[in-house]
Structures are given as C-alpha cells and as structure tokens.
Amino acid sequence: MSSLPLVLSMGDPAGVGPSITAVAWQALKSDPELRFYVIGAPELYRKLCPVQEIAAPEDAAAVFSAALPVLPVGPVPEITPGKPNEASAPFIVSAIEMGVAHVREGKASGIVTNPINKALLYSAGFRHPGHTEFIAELCRPEGGEPIRPVMMLTGGGLKVALATIHQSLASVPASLTQEALVELGSIVHSAMKSDFGIAAPRIAFTGLNPHAGEGGAIGREEIDIINPAAATLRSRNINISDARPADTVFAEALSGAYDAVIAMTHDQGLIPVKTLDFWGGVNMTLGLPIVRTSPDHGTGYDAAAAGTARPDSLIAAIRSAAMVAKNRKTA
Ligand SMILES: NC(=O)c1ccc[n+]([C@@H]2O[C@H](COP(=O)([O-])OP(=O)(O)OC[C@H]3O[C@@H](n4cnc5c(N)ncnc54)[C@H](O)[C@@H]3O)[C@@H](O)[C@H]2O)c1
Ligand SMILES: N[C@H](C(=O)O)[C@H](O)COP(=O)(O)O
C-alpha cells in the first residue's frame, strides 16, 4: 500500500463526522497501511479518543498508532451534535480545500471526505452541488479545461456510476447527450482498469424509461441517445451494453454479467446500492487526478444527536481509498 497517509476532511462538525472519525481511528490504529489524519477542530475529537495535534501531513505517521492525528482548522464555533451552525461553514470548506491541496502536493495518498450539508455551505458562498464537483474544480489545472467528475457508489456487490447527479428529474432528459454518455463510458471504463484492477471491464447502461423505452413506445432516449453512445463506445473497444431495463440490470450485474452499471439518474443508481449495503456503501469520484472517497451516507444529524452513529461506511471508504491509491500506483 502507499506509504503516504490518507487525509480526512472534518465534514459538518454537527453531523456524524467527528464521532465516526474517532471510532474509525480506534478500529484502524494498528494498521499502518490505513493510517490517516483529519483536518478539523481538535476539540471535536478530544472527548471521543486520544488526539495529537500535528503541524504537517508528514507528522501523521509517527502519531497514528497512539492518537488521532489532527491538523487544526478553525476556530470552529462550539458545536452541539445534531444542531448545524452556519458559522462553521467556512471551516468545513477550508478542510476540503486543504485536504485536496495535500493530495495534489503528494503529501497524502487520497482524500476521504466526511459528510457535509450542502444547504448550510451555501451561506459561506459554496456554489457547487456537492464535494464531487467542488473537488473536480479544485483539481483543475490553472487555465486548464474543466474536469468531468463521475460519481460512483459501490456496495452490496454493485458498482454504479451516475449519468446525472443532483438535479431535478424534470431536467434529466435534456442533460442526456450522446457526447456526454460517450465521455462518461470512457471514464468508467478507464477507472475500472486503473482503480479496481479489472483488466477487461463489462459495463451496462441503464435505460431512462420503463422497460428501456419498450422499443420507443414509452420514450425515445434509449433509441436516440443511449444506444448510439453505446455503439460509439463499442467501436472504441469498450465492452458496454445498449440500454438495459433499470429494474432488472442490477440483478444481472449481481449475477456476474457486468462489472459496473451506469445509471441515468441519482436515485435509479443509489437506491439499489444503499438498500443492499447502506453500512458498507462507498461514494467515490472517478475521473479525478486524485483519489477521493466518502461514506455513502449524509450528515445523519439525528444519529449524531442520539450518539448512535455507525462508522462502518467511513471505514469502508478509508479501505477503498487505500485500495484505489495502491491500484493506481501499480497501474
Ligand atoms: N457525502 C456527503 O457529503 C453526503 C452524502 C449524502 C447526503 N449528504 C447530505 O446529508 C444531509 C442529510 O441527508 P439525508 O437525511 O438524506 O441522509 P443521511 O444519510 O444523513 O441520513 C439517512 C438516515 O441514515 C441515518 N444515518 C446516516 N448516517 C448514519 C451513521 N453513520 N450512523 C447511523 N445512522 C446514520 C440518519 O440518521 C437517517 O436516519 C443532506 O444535507 C445531504 O445533502 C451528504
Ligand atoms: N449523492 C451522494 C449520496 O447520496 O451519497 C451525495 O449527496 C454526496 O455527494 P458529494 O460526494 O458530491 O458531496
């Protein structure tokens, strides 16, 4: 595995982030290959586990087995778990920016983001739908072309990428273009090889409409957009299906027919993963020059307030980030 540590961003301090970070450290502290540090407010973690403030990512390795290494960001206002506070927004954003900078500078092997509440961040001038697009923008070289980030959720034996993410269902059909789907299919194909070590990936597109349009009787997006994009990708030696009915393609993937499924909408793709494996699910961003993963859940304010937060998905995200970093190094 990479000898560099992973970096965790604090996420919303009023959510489950602080508690699951402390429990993840307890669970992983004896595994040097999964070592990490968190960029956050040290006081968030002090009641939960031993904490050691560090001045630089390079200090994390010596500390990790004995205490959670925390690179301070702040001053974060005093927080009551479960009660979001707008005053923490600038520090939530700074922690992500610093973490991405550390990975880009070669000081950390990847970033694992704790959950944020996007609406709260808008008060601090955050203008991105989520981490996915924000981190892609942070990775864009100065004066360079925008990077197309791809959201993929893994869990329950599935790997599901999304053609559209945080947008209204009504706006989805206009966003589906042959060009965008060809670009997406290429990114997923490359990531299956470099990030997951799958030499000859088999990918399926879902349809947008019930029964993948029923030959055009229920909708034409499959005939006019999705299938032509699939044909272009196949002409480039990418093994990808025409639009498959979305109600059955996940069962086909689970039975071994496909390594990854590309879903047309957020809920079409995330419902099967989160239903099968909410606690083991991982959200990752494909197509970036850096490794980024996250738990599949959100801020979970009610669990934070009740003290019932589970660390499983964060631990799975840490393991996935370490695996992808290692696979990319090998590739
Ligand atoms: N990666 C991210 O930053 C991310 C991902 C998803 C949602 N969100 C944001 O989170 C906020 C809340 O979203 P939501 O309510 O739809 O989803 P959620 O995942 O926060 O909560 C769904 C349910 O799961 C529970 N839950 C979540 N995490 C848990 C944990 N670790 N342990 C125990 N129970 C847990 C919650 O208490 C709730 O009952 C929204 O602002 C959303 O945008 C962020
Ligand atoms: N759609 C994601 C999920 O439900 O898991 C999520 O909102 C996270 O988005 P970002 O990783 O872009 O913050």
**Exposed, middle or buried: residue 252 (CB in 10 Å: 0-12, 13-18, 19+)?**
middle
What ipTM did this prediction achieve? 0.95
Q: What superfamily does domain 150-270 belong to in CATH?
A: Isopropylmalate Dehydrogenase (3.40.718.10)
Q: What is the CA(273)–ligand 1 centre distance, in A? A: 14
Q: Is the pLDDT of residue 234 over 50?
A: yes
Local confidence band at 245 (pLDDT 50, 70, 90 cut-offs):
very high
User: Which CATH number is 6-146+290-330's, of 3.40.718.10, 2.30.30.90, 3.30.930.10, 3.30.565.10?
Assistant: 3.40.718.10
Q: Is the pLDDT of residue 99 over 50?
A: yes
User: pLDDT tens across 118-170, in order?
Assistant: 999 987 789 999 999 999 999 999 899 999 999 999 999 999 999 999 999 99
Q: How far apart are the first and last CA of the chain?
A: 13
Fold match, 6-146+290-330 / 150-270 = yes
Q: Which two tokens stand for residue 314?
A: 């964060």
Q: What is the CA(135)–ligand 1 centre distance, in A? A: 20
- Residue-level pLDDT at 1: 42
Ligand 2 within 6 A of CB of 131:
yes
- Residues 98-114 have a mean pLDDT of 98
Ligand 2 within 6 A of CB of 274:
no
Q: Is the pLDDT of residue 310 over 90?
A: yes
Ligand 2 atom closest to the CA of 113, numbered from 1 = 11
The full set of domain ranges for the chain reads: 6-146+290-330, 150-270
Q: What is the CA(76)–ligand 2 centre distance, in A? A: 23
Q: Is the pLDDT of residue 242 over 80?
A: yes
